[in-house]
C-alpha cells in the first residue's frame, strides 16, 4: 500500500512539474516585449553555439568548444593568422562622402542619435593604401555575459615571434573605418581586461551596445520570417572590426549529397 502511494505521488509530482515548466515557458513568451526581444539567456547561447559548431565543422572553419577545467562553463575558440597592413608604411586617403542612399557599413552600427552628428561633418572614412604587411596570430573567444545577457568577443594577438600586442598596437591594426565607429562608442568599446574564465589579460569588445543594434537586426529578420542564430548574426557584425570575418557559407544551407 505504501509503495503504491509512493508511485502515485511520484506520478502526480511529474505531471505538476511539467505543467509548471510549460507555464513558465508560456509566461516567458507572453512577457516578451519589444525591449527584451533580443535578450539572450545562457541556454539559448549554448544552443546557438552548438549550431555554429556544427556548421563550422562542415566548413572546416576552426571553431571549437573549450571547457574550463573543474567547471561546467565553456566558450567558443578559434585561432587565425592575419596579414595586416603595417601601420608604419600604410597611408589613409579620404574617401568621397557617401550619400544617404549608400551609408557607410561601419557607421551603420552607430545609433541614429549619434549618426546625425557624424553625417554633418566629414565622416572620417578612408581608403587604406597598403605598403608592407605583417602577419599576426589572433586567438578569439566567444563568452556569455550574464550581466548583459549577450555574447562577448574576447581576443588576443601575437607576432609570429610570440610577442603579445599592446592595446595601442591592436588599435593600430583596426581598419580606420571601424576604428572611427569604436572610438565614438561608450567606454571606448575596444579595451583590455582579465578574461572572466581564464584569468589572463585579453582584449575585448564591450557589450554595452549589443542589445541596441541586435534589436534592429533581429526585428528585421523576424519580419521576414527568416531563421536566426543570434550568435552567428552578432558575430557577423562585430567580428570584422577585429579581423574576424564570417564566411558567407554559414548563411547557405548545405546541400544533401547525392545517393551513390
pLDDT at 111: 40
Active site residues: 208
100 and 218 belong to one structural domain: yes
Copy the grid coordinates of residue 237. 557584425
199 and 88 belong to one structural domain: yes
Q: Is the pLDDT of residue 129 over 80?
A: no
**pLDDT confidence band for 127 (50 / 70 / 90):** low
pTM score: 0.70
Q: Is the pLDDT of residue 187 over 60?
A: no
125 and 46 belong to one structural domain: yes
52-83 residue pLDDT tens: 999 999 999 999 999 999 899 999 999 999 99
Q: What is the DSSP string of 161-208?
A: T-PBPPHHHHHHTS-HHHHHHHHTSTT-SEEEEE-TTT-SEEEEE-GG
Please answer whether residues 126 and 176 qualify as being in contact, where contact means their C-beta atoms are separated by less than 8 angstroms.
yes
pLDDT at 3: 42
Q: Is the pLDDT of residue 113 over 60?
A: no
Residues 109-127 have a mean pLDDT of 45
Task: Note whether residue 114 is domain-resident.
Answer: yes
87 and 202 belong to one structural domain: yes
Task: Note whether residue 255 is domain-resident.
Answer: no
Task: Note whether residue 258 is domain-resident.
Answer: no
Domains in the chain, number: 2
Copy the grid coordinates of residue 204. 575585448
101 and 24 belong to one structural domain: no
Range with the lowest mean pLDDT among 111-125, 175-189, 246-260? Answer: 111-125
Q: Nearest-CA neighbor of 107 among 123, 126, 127?
A: 123
Q: Which helix (H) or strand (E) holds 51?
A: helix 42-59
Task: Note whether residue 155 is domain-resident.
Answer: yes
Task: Note whether residue 78 is domain-resident.
Answer: yes
Domain with 11 in it: 1-31
Mean pLDDT for the chain overall: 75
3 and 89 belong to one structural domain: no
pLDDT at 84: 86
62 and 21 belong to one structural domain: no
**pLDDT confidence band for 258 (50 / 70 / 90):** low
**pLDDT confidence band for 259 (50 / 70 / 90):** low
Top-confidence range, 23-27, 182-186, 206-210, 255-259: 206-210
Higher-confidence position of 8 and 220: 220
Amino acid at each position: 500500500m505504501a509503495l503504491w502511494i509512493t508511485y502515485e505521488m511520484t506520478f502526480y509530482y511529474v505531471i505538476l512539474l511539467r505543467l509548471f515548466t510549460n507555464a513558465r515557458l508560456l509566461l516567458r513568451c507572453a512577457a516578451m516585449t519589444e525591449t527584451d526581444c533580443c535578450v539572450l539567456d545562457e541556454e539559448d547561447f549554448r544552443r546557438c553555439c552548438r549550431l555554429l559548431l556544427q556548421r563550422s565543422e562542415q566548413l572546416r572553419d576552426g571553431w571549437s568548444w573549450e571547457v574550463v577545467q573543474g567547471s561546467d562553463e565553456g566558450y567558443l575558440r578559434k585561432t587565425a593568422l592575419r596579414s595586416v597592413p603595417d601601420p608604419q608604411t600604410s597611408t589613409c586617403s579620404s574617401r568621397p562622402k557617401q550619400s544617404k542612399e549608400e551609408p557607410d557599413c561601419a557607421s551603420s552600427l552607430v545609433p541614429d542619435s549619434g549618426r546625425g552628428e557624424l553625417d554633418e561633418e566629414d565622416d572620417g572614412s578612408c581608403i587604406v593604401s597598403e605598403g608592407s604587411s605583417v602577419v599576426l596570430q589572433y586567438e578569439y573567444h566567444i563568452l556569455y555575459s550574464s550581466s548583459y545577457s549577450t555574447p562577448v568577443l574576447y581576443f588576443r594577438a601575437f607576432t609570429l615571434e610570440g610577442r603579445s600586442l599592446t592595446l595601442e598596437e591592436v588599435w593600430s591594426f583596426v581598419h580606420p573605418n571601424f576604428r572611427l565607429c569604436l572610438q565614438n562608442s561608450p567606454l571606448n568599446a575596444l579595451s583590455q581586461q582579465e578574461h572572466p574564465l581564464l584569468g589572463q589579460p585579453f582584449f575585448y569588445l564591450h557589450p554595452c551596445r549589443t542589445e541596441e543594434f541586435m534589436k534592429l537586426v533581429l526585428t528585421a529578420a523576424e519580419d521576414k520570417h527568416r531563421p536566426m542564430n543570434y550568435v552567428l548574426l552578432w558575430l557577423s557584425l562585430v567580428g570584422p572590426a577585429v579581423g574576424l570575418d564570417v564566411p558567407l557559407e554559414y548563411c547557405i544551407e548545405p546541400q544533401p549529397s547525392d545517393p551513390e
